Amino acid sequence: MLLLGAGPRALLLQLAHPAIAAGVAAHSDVRSDPWRRLDGTLRSYLRLIYGPTPVVHAEVRRLHALHGRVRGTDHTGIDYDARDPGLALWVHATLVDSTLVANDRWLGPLPRERAARFYAETIPLARLFGIKEAVVPPDLDAFQAYMKAQTRPGGALRVTDEARDLASFILRPPLPGAFRHLPVPAATYAWTLWPAVGLLPPAVRTAYGLDQSAWQRAVSAWLVAGWRAWRPILPPPFREISQARAADRRVGAQ
């Protein structure tokens, strides 16, 4: 759910902000290795969520050093700075929102009080990114209002040609790792990412030119239904993120 749903959705939402698309295009290897970009983002976020305190502090220092180098102006005149609190908030928000949306669509809506608690527990993560408390939506209602304002027509998002080009590498990526040199066309497996496209807000999906056909929607529904069917029978090591299991063991031992 994280790799084929929430992760690609979050990346596409991030790139829908023109300043983020400009920064990623200039400073990321997403075109040559989108899996590395997704894996790096998820691993970093999981360290911050589940890591012991020394690991969290080390990851925060690494991110601040990395982001300090990501600034400039692209060829169309778009300024970007990875330390901009507004951009940092949007990146954080896409990860939080995509987790909630994928869970609601693929597993079923969380009870409101549980979703509110989940959101409240993500606020310290935003603070780790250097986002001031006054900038972070204080509760789930405020967060959802922020997301609605960002994604509505005329909001901060504007899908540029750069973003569409980057999206093509995310949605039709080369095979990962040691398999990348195999002569397998991306079209033979790119359909596994159709469910992630279906999770996008309609206006953003249209702006990318990713409106889905009836066939694509049917395949997406089949993939999600299959995932729902086999998920409950998998043993926990195959069903849960290893970082979460390690954190549970660490906390339980205290």
User: Could you tell me where the beta strands, DSSP code E, fall in the chain?
Assistant: 71-73, 79-81
pLDDT in tens, the chain (254 residues): 777 788 889 999 999 999 999 999 888 877 777 777 777 777 888 888 898 889 988 998 888 888 888 899 988 899 999 889 899 999 999 999 999 999 999 888 899 999 999 999 999 888 887 888 889 999 999 999 999 999 988 888 999 999 999 999 889 877 766 676 778 887 888 898 999 999 999 999 999 999 999 999 999 999 999 988 888 888 878 888 888 888 888 888 87
User: Would you state the pLDDT for residue 177?
Assistant: 67
Alpha-carbon Rg of the chain, whole angstroms? 18
Distance from C-alpha of 202 to C-alpha of 195, rounded to nearest angstrom: 13
> Would you state the structure tokens that stand for residue 135, as one six-digit string?
């900038």
Boundaries of domain holding 197: 2-178+186-252
User: Would you state the pLDDT for residue 133?
Assistant: 85
Number of domains in the chain: 1
> Would you state the structure tokens that stand for residue 248, as one six-digit string?
């549970």
> Would you state the structure tokens that stand for residue 201, as one six-digit string?
């807000």
Single-letter residue type at 227: W
Q: Give the three-state DSSP class for 76.
A: coil
- For tokens 């209602």, the residue is 141
Residue 72 Ramachandran class (φ > 0 left, ψ -120 to 50 alpha, else beta): left
Q: The whole model's pTM is what?
A: 0.89
Decide if 170 contacts 34 (C-beta within 8 A): yes
